[in-house]
Chains A and B, each alone.
Chain A
Amino acid sequence: MTASAPAAPAIFDEMRAPDGAVRTAYARLAQWLEATPPELLARKRHEADMLFRRLGITFAVYGEGGDTERLIPFDVIPRVLTNPEWTALSEGLVQRVKALNAFLYDVYHDREIVRAGKIPAELIDANEQYRPEMIGVEVPGRIYTHIAGIDVVRVSADQFYVLEDNVRTPSGVSYMLENREAMMRLFPELFARNRVQPVGHYPDELLKSLRSLPPPSAKDKDEPTVVVMTPGAYNSAYFEHVFLAEQMGVELVEGQDMFVEDDKVYMRTVAGPRRVDVIYRRLDDAFLDPAAFRPDSALGVKGLFDAYRKGNVTLANAVGTGVADDKSVYPFVPDMVRFYLGEEPKLANVPTYSLRKPDDLKYALDHLPELVVKETHGSGGYGMLVGPKSTAAEIEAFRARILAKPEHYIAQPTLALSTCPTFVEEGVAPRHLDLRPYLLVGKEVKLVPGGLTRVALRKGSLVVNSSQGGGTKDTWVLEG
């Protein structure tokens, strides 16, 4: 990417046009907001907090001392999309996840995309998430990422950008579901006035999707035995693991509950060993099987990887998907869409400078105050420079880090993330947002209309991560 950065456009507010007119999606919500006093919003927010705490919907923050169990702040004002907006967005997401799956198959088979000169081989081979053990392994339906969370941001009425792909074990879908549940409890009248498409069937769709790709040797191909595998009660996303297992009505297992015999996976039940066909695993590749990966892992199951390789169990997601969602591979996703699907990408990437390229590096170093610089392997918004929000000293410190290892960084123009009215200390005010829709890939690709909207609660902040003062909102896709 060598084109110059686009001029900073005006911030797009999703509720109001610059002239103050209310946009279609928010017509009814705006009326309601006007008629609702801040005291009522405050009371409802308090009720929501009580509800979430009672249900134990917390997340863990590490490295800051103090209480590690926290509530993600929940904003009671929903974020709204019209059906046409959603349809256009979801078509782009479906296309993207298909390309990512095709890429993963290719990575572990013939590497046609490398041979075609579209992606440098070292981006794959030098990637920490690349699993050479997966070369030549046939996975059911050639699907690698069964559950994907693709983060998008909006900058104008019809421009969405993909910020990043999460194709390993994306989390947060329980918040999408609980946020809706809370909103319906707190504001039933809002749902009577707005026709909001439901999201509550996500667990059913997830189960259907997982069941649609049984391993070749499964006994019952129509109703294979599905389990959710968790690292355990001390994992920061344990609540979500419990929630999803409960909602799907399947067992929540830990590594110690399973064993492998004759390359088949069984769980230990009170009625004796029971064959496991599909594992929705919520732990990283490295911990899955001490015989294949990290030998010190006490969380995995010995022999699981062999059972998997031999087609006796489906892992969702597959092993080795991380090679597709690394920030160094991200700039190539639009090329993947063209290469594998022969289509133009419907959903654009954020213009990205790969600092491993000398030209891009030079540009980035010259324009640091305007750019956002991210570590290619970083997550959670920590290894990140937001140029316009940083002091000269911070920029210089980061410059030194980039120069030490330029290949570890990418840079992007600072995006004017869209805003949406949010209930904060000063009252109802615009705050920046992103959106993580969840895609389910089985025999077909499905997604429920909505996702997890994250909101930066601090005025002017662009960082929406829950570990950095972000909150969440219910996400509405209207009917019609």
Chain B
Amino acid sequence: MLSRAADSLYWMARYMERAENMARLLDVSYRMSLSSTDGDSEQMQWGPALVVAGCEAPFKATGKTADSRNVIEYLALDPRNPSSIRNSLGAARENARAMRTQITTEMWESLNSTWLEIRGLDYARLEERGLRAFFDWVKERSHLFRGVAYGTMPRDAAFRFVRAGTFLERGDSTARLLDVKYHVLLPTARDVGGAVDYYQWGALLRSVSAFQAYRRIYRDAIRPRRVAELLILRPDMPRSVAASLGELTRLLDELREQFGRNYRSAGLARAAFDRLRYAHIEEVFATGLHEFLTEIVDSNIAIGKAIAEDFGLPY
């Protein structure tokens, strides 16, 4: 398999997952903004979304105020923002187009029609459609993409690179998403454990489709430590950091077996996974949630670099 093909497949999946996670980030921010107190300015509500998306500086450069409309437009639709949902979906499609031989017709069709639909969307039409409906649509297109890949691709290297892209991106994103909560609360640290706090943790759980799972697993009121445990450490939660690293580790091991080579990325992923597997949530909070999440994000970046080196990916 060509390195460029692996690269395209890996980035196709990363961009698709990135689009989904941006929709989830906007969704959770939007929900949090609805449950915030009157005193919060719009800037305080939407600033964190920009920070987590890594878009604070470029957004500032646009000269616009960070109100709900401007931030959503920038993160969802702006063609000048490389991280916008629109651009991620476009990049996923371009990567697929470059490697049509490696994906199934169904995958191409799903990516292509997603792109054709968002290509002409502007904020007015987005609002008309409903913000939540739009976020749901993006999530559904991503579900469809994964489902079609899972249901139609032969289980070969191509499939593994697609999946690896998905899980590396996802683990990274869940860690960043949890960090929103940190950024929202840190400035004032008020109301911890209060009603607002409850709604915000609830919104966070819902944004990663984990609200019901939380209820089922803990049968308890929503407590920050348990939310963090669920989203960072539980390998049985499909969007948790641990589950994503677990999948990634398994995929890299399979590639190692398939090609009979040793990969640095496989070692790094396993070490990161093991660290979470054997960690206790008390330890996480002792380190500091934000610091712990930052470590995860850095380790993900290192794994991504090692994957590129191991397989000769061009970018």
Question: How far apart are the CA atoms of A246 and B104 in the complex, in Å?
Answer: 11
Question: In this assembly, does B268 line the interface, its C-beta being within 8 Å of a C-beta of chain A?
Answer: no
Name which of A82-90, A182-190, A267-275, A389-397 contacts chain B: A267-275
Question: In this assembly, does B232 line the interface, its C-beta being within 8 Å of a C-beta of chain A?
Answer: no
A272 touches B100 (CB 8 A): no
Question: How far apart are the CA atoms of A25 and B1 in the complex, in Å?
Answer: 46
- Residues in A with CB closer than 8 Å to B97 are 233
Known contacts being A269-B1, A270-B6, is A55 close to B105, with CB within 8 Å?
A: yes
Question: In this assembly, does B311 line the interface, its C-beta being within 8 Å of a C-beta of chain A?
Answer: yes
Question: In this assembly, does B312 line the interface, its C-beta being within 8 Å of a C-beta of chain A?
Answer: yes
Question: How far apart are the CA atoms of A270 and B105 in the complex, in Å?
Answer: 23
B 91-126 binary contact with A (CB < 8 Å = 1; else 0): 000000110110001001100000000000000000
- Residues in B with CB closer than 8 Å to A54 are 109
The B1-18 residues at the A interface (CB cut-off 8 A) are: 1-6
Nearest B residue (CB) for A252: B101
- Residues in B with CB closer than 8 Å to A55 are 105
- Residues in A with CB closer than 8 Å to B2 are 251, 253, 257, 267-270
B101 touches A245 (CB 8 A): yes
- Residues in A with CB closer than 8 Å to B314 are 256, 268
In-complex Cβ contact of B1 among A246, A254, A270 (8 A): A270
- Residues in B with CB closer than 8 Å to A252 are 101
Q: Is the interface of A mostly helix, strand, loop or mixed?
A: mixed
B312 touches A242 (CB 8 A): no
Nearest B residue (CB) for A239: B100
B37 to chain A, nearest CB (A): 52
B101 touches A271 (CB 8 A): no
Nearest A residue (CB) for B97: A233
Known contacts being A268-B312, A270-B259, A271-B261, is A257 close to B4, with CB within 8 Å?
A: yes
A257 touches B3 (CB 8 A): yes
Nearest A residue (CB) for B312: A268
The A420-468 residues at the B interface (CB cut-off 8 A) are: none
Question: How far apart are the CA atoms of A268 and B2 in the complex, in Å?
Answer: 6
- Residues in A with CB closer than 8 Å to B44 are none
A268 touches B100 (CB 8 A): no
Question: How far apart are the CA atoms of A272 and B6 in the complex, in Å?
Answer: 12
- Residues in A with CB closer than 8 Å to B161 are 270
Most buried by B among A55, A251, A271: A271
Question: In this assembly, does B157 line the interface, its C-beta being within 8 Å of a C-beta of chain A?
Answer: yes
Nearest A residue (CB) for B258: A271
Give the contact-size bracket for chain A: 10 to 19
- Residues in B with CB closer than 8 Å to A270 are 1-3, 6, 157, 161, 255, 259, 311-312
The A235-264 residues at the B interface (CB cut-off 8 A) are: 242, 245-246, 251-254, 256-257
B252 to chain A, nearest CB (A): 12
- Residues in A with CB closer than 8 Å to B4 are 254, 256-257, 268
Question: How far apart are the CA atoms of A252 and B105 in the complex, in Å?
Answer: 16
Most buried by A among B4, B109, B311: B4
A272 touches B312 (CB 8 A): yes
- Residues in A with CB closer than 8 Å to B255 are 270
B 256-282 binary contact with A (CB < 8 Å = 1; else 0): 000101000000000000000000000
Question: How far apart are the CA atoms of A476 and B109 in the complex, in Å?
Answer: 31
A268 touches B3 (CB 8 A): yes
B107 to chain A, nearest CB (A): 13
Question: How far apart are the CA atoms of A134 and B109 in the complex, in Å?
Answer: 44
Question: How far apart are the CA atoms of A268 and B314 in the complex, in Å?
Answer: 10
- Residues in B with CB closer than 8 Å to A271 are 1, 259, 261
- Residues in B with CB closer than 8 Å to A267 are 2
A177 to chain B, nearest CB (A): 16
Question: How far apart are the CA atoms of A288 and B148 in the complex, in Å?
Answer: 37
- Residues in A with CB closer than 8 Å to B6 are 270
Most buried by A among B1, B100, B255: B100
Question: How far apart are the CA atoms of A269 and B115 in the complex, in Å?
Answer: 29
Question: How far apart are the CA atoms of A268 and B3 in the complex, in Å?
Answer: 6
A242 touches B101 (CB 8 A): yes
B144 to chain A, nearest CB (A): 17
Nearest B residue (CB) for A238: B100
The B299-315 residues at the A interface (CB cut-off 8 A) are: 311-312, 314
Question: How far apart are the CA atoms of A252 and B98 in the complex, in Å?
Answer: 10
- Residues in A with CB closer than 8 Å to B311 are 270
A233 touches B1 (CB 8 A): no
A247 to chain B, nearest CB (A): 10
The A35-68 residues at the B interface (CB cut-off 8 A) are: 54-56
Nearest B residue (CB) for A232: B98
Question: How far apart are the CA atoms of A270 and B258 in the complex, in Å?
Answer: 11
The A398-417 residues at the B interface (CB cut-off 8 A) are: none
- Residues in A with CB closer than 8 Å to B259 are 270-271
- Residues in A with CB closer than 8 Å to B100 are 242
In-complex Cβ contact of A233 among B98, B108, B157, B261 (8 A): B98
Question: How far apart are the CA atoms of A251 and B6 in the complex, in Å?
Answer: 12
The B140-185 residues at the A interface (CB cut-off 8 A) are: 157, 161
Question: How far apart are the CA atoms of A453 and B204 in the complex, in Å?
Answer: 61
- Residues in B with CB closer than 8 Å to A256 are 4, 314
> What residues of chain A have their CB less than 8 Å away from a CB belonging to chain B?
54-56, 233, 242, 245-246, 251-254, 256-257, 267-272
> What residues of chain B have their CB less than 8 Å away from a CB belonging to chain A?
1-6, 97-98, 100-101, 105, 108-109, 157, 161, 255, 259, 261, 311-312, 314
Q: List 8 A-B contacts (CB under 8 A).
A: A245-B101, A253-B2, A268-B2, A270-B2, A270-B3, A270-B6, A270-B255, A271-B261
Known pairs A257-B4, A270-B2; list 20 more (Cβ under 8 Å). Answer: A55-B105, A56-B108, A242-B100, A246-B101, A251-B101, A252-B101, A256-B4, A256-B314, A268-B3, A268-B312, A269-B2, A269-B3, A270-B1, A270-B6, A270-B157, A270-B161, A270-B259, A271-B1, A271-B259, A271-B261
Q: Closest 9 interchain pairs by CB?
A: A270-B311, A268-B3, A271-B259, A270-B6, A242-B100, A252-B101, A270-B1, A246-B101, A257-B2
